[in-house]
């Protein structure tokens, strides 16, 4: 009871009117809503741009969806570490402001894209400038005592989850307003730019977040604590490469956990690339025939399940099961859901929701337990946690870049296939195979005593 009262007091203090955590929470939440607004319609937008550019082959058209998604994650992979080092030199607030300004400009520009190349460049620049989440975590580290760190990091995770739940829902509703809303939007402009309204809305949200960051968010890193000998962008890039190479020198259990996470993210990013390609296919071709609005509802549901799992369910389960078991359950649940996707039919809806529940549940169980196990193993072998997390982030980022590209080319190659193995099902089968690989790696892990008893201490 004392612990509960203390935790409540900490939360009340964190969410006080002038608390930096309250402002940071709002900044991240609004930013995430704006970012996830594009999810339901991005696939359809890129398909339309490809067709208007003279691309008639469906496979080639859909390949551009994966390339555009990969462009964003490539921008993040290359520039987030660099912006992180800049935040060590110049402070957290200027970098957060720069990222939000970038989001505001490039979200607006993306909605007005008139060609594939313009959309591709804008998405790359948006990814390159968006470091809000990474720098926000550093901000929390600056202002938090060790005992506050886990809870406050959880608040940022909650903002991420809520944003993922709200953003796709709004994005789906605002798509193609000329036909779905009418009235003021029944004009040639809105018919010519059916995807501009959600981009405009998300740009405005990002601008609101920018306002809070400029006028309400205090700097967290005092001048005297800044790194005056910060790394240059070239040195930072070399460090990223070293983190990838140095994984071979880590303990087998640590290396295995990093590889399992990379494989899981590779599988998950492949699914994210092709899910709407599948749901948007005509029913006669084997798809679900869904539009952006329906996909927005589905992704909002996934976000809701994620909030429930990471917001409370995992705490209940962690009292009864070890981190290793929960991580394994997450892999199995997600693997079954990912493999099941191409066998879905438009009805009954409950079956589709059940499969999405498996995927969201799997992700919600896997992510926090894998991070916990990795931290425990690093401490057990007295390995620098920054080095371990750097390696994990590097491989994870690579997976998020490679996944959309692999999915796009496999989808293109198999879309017109008629064989039972070589069809549009193939990419989802690959997701299942990757999940199985991750499960087998997990089972090869010899749990230490600390990992077995961690949740019960």
Domain ends where: 220, 240, 262? 220
Model pLDDT, residue 148: 66
Distance (Å, whole) CA 427 – CA 403? 11
Contact 312, 158 (CB under 8 A): no
Sign of the C-alpha dihedral computed for residues 365, 157, 428 and 80 taken in this order: negative
Q: Are residues 135 and 281 in the same domain?
A: no
Buried b (16+ CB within 10 A) or exposed e, 20-31: bbbbbbbbbbbb
Last residue of a domain, one of 220, 243, 263: 220
Above pLDDT 90, what percent of the chain? 43
Instruction: Give me the pLDDT at residue 450, please.
Output: 45
Asked if 284 and 199 sit in the same domain, the reply is no
273 and 408 in contact (C-beta within 8 Å)? yes
Rounded distance between C-alpha atoms, residue 272 and residue 363, angstroms: 13
**Residue pLDDT, tens place only, 152-205:** 766 766 777 788 889 999 999 999 999 888 888 999 999 999 999 999 998 998
**Residue 6 domain-assigned?**
no
* Residue where a domain terminates, one of 175, 197, 220: 220
pLDDT at position 176, please? 92
Identify whether residues 164 and 288 lie together within a single domain. Answer: no
String of b and e for 192-206 (b: at least 16 CB within 10 Å)? Answer: ebbbbbbbbbbbebb
Helix 385-414 vs helix 426-443: angle between axes, to the nearest 10 degrees? 150
Structural domain range at position 394: 232-457
Q: Give pLDDT, residue 230.
A: 62
CATH number at residue 338: 1.20.1250.20
Low-confidence ranges of the chain (pLDDT < 70): 1-18, 131-132, 146-151, 153-154, 156-157, 227-233, 236, 385-386, 417-420, 446-457
Q: Residue 232 carries which DSSP code? A: P
23 and 138 in a single domain? The answer is: yes
- Residue 252 belongs to some domain of the structure: yes
CA distances from 24 to 118, 212, 311 (A): 32, 9, 19
As for how many domains the chain has, the answer is: 2
Q: What is the pLDDT of residue 13?
A: 53
Question: Does residue 301 share a domain with residue 177?
Answer: no
- 3 is a domain residue: no
């Amino acid at each position: 009871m004392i612990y509960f009262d203390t935790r409540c007091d900490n939360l009340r203090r964190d969410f006080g009117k002038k608390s930096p955590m309250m402002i940071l929470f709002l900044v991240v939440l609004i930013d995430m809503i704006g970012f996830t607004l594009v999810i339901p319609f991005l696939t359809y937008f890129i398909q339309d741009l490809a067709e208007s550019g003279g691309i008639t082959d469906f496979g080639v058209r859909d390949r551009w969806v994966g390339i555009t998604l990969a462009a964003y994650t490539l921008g993040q992979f290359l520039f987030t570490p660099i912006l992180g080092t800049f935040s060590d030199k110049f402070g957290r607030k200027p970098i957060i402001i720069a990222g939000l300004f970038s989001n505001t400009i490039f979200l607006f520009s993306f909605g007005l894209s008139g060609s594939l190349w313009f959309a591709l460049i804008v998405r790359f620049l948006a990814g390159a400038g968006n470091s809000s989440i990474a720098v926000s975590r550093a901000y929390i580290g600056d202002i938090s005592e060790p005992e506050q760190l886990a809870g406050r990091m959880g608040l940022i995770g909650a903002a991420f989850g809520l944003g993922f739940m709200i953003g796709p829902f709004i994005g789906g509703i605002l798509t193609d307003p000329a036909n779905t809303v009418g009235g003021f939007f029944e004009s040639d402009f809105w018919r010519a730019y059916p995807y501009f309204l959600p981009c405009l809305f998300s740009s405005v949200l990002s601008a609101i977040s920018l306002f809070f960051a400029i006028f309400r968010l205090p700097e967290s890193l005092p001048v005297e604590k800044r790194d005056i000998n910060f790394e240059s962008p070239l040195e930072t890039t070399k460090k990223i490469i070293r983190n990838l190479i140095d994984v071979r020198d880590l303990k087998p259990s640590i290396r295995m956990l990093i590889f399992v996470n990379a494989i899981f993210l590779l599988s998950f990013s492949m699914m994210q690339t092709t899910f709407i390609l599948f749901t948007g296919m005509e029913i006669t071709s084997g798809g679900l025939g869904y539009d952006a609005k329906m996909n927005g509802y589905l992704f909002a549901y996934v976000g809701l399940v994620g909030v429930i799992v990471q917001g409370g369910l995992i705490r209940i389960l962690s009292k009864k099961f070890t981190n290793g078991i929960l991580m394994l359950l997450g892999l199995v649940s997600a693997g079954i859901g990912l493999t099941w996707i191409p066998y879905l039919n438009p009805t009954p809806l409950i079956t589709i929701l059940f499969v999405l529940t498996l995927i969201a549940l799997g992700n919600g169980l896997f992510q926090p337990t894998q991070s916990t196990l990795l931290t425990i193993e690093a401490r057990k072998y007295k390995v620098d946690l920054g080095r371990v997390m750097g390696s994990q982030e590097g491989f994870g980022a690579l997976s998020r870049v490679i996944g959309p590209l692999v999915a796009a080319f496999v989808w293109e190659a198999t879309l017109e296939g008629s064989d039972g193995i070589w069809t549009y099902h193939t990419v989802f089968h690959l997701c299942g195979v990757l999940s199985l690989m991750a499960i087998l790696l997990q089972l090869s892990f010899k749990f230490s005593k600390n990992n077995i008893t961690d949740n019960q201490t």
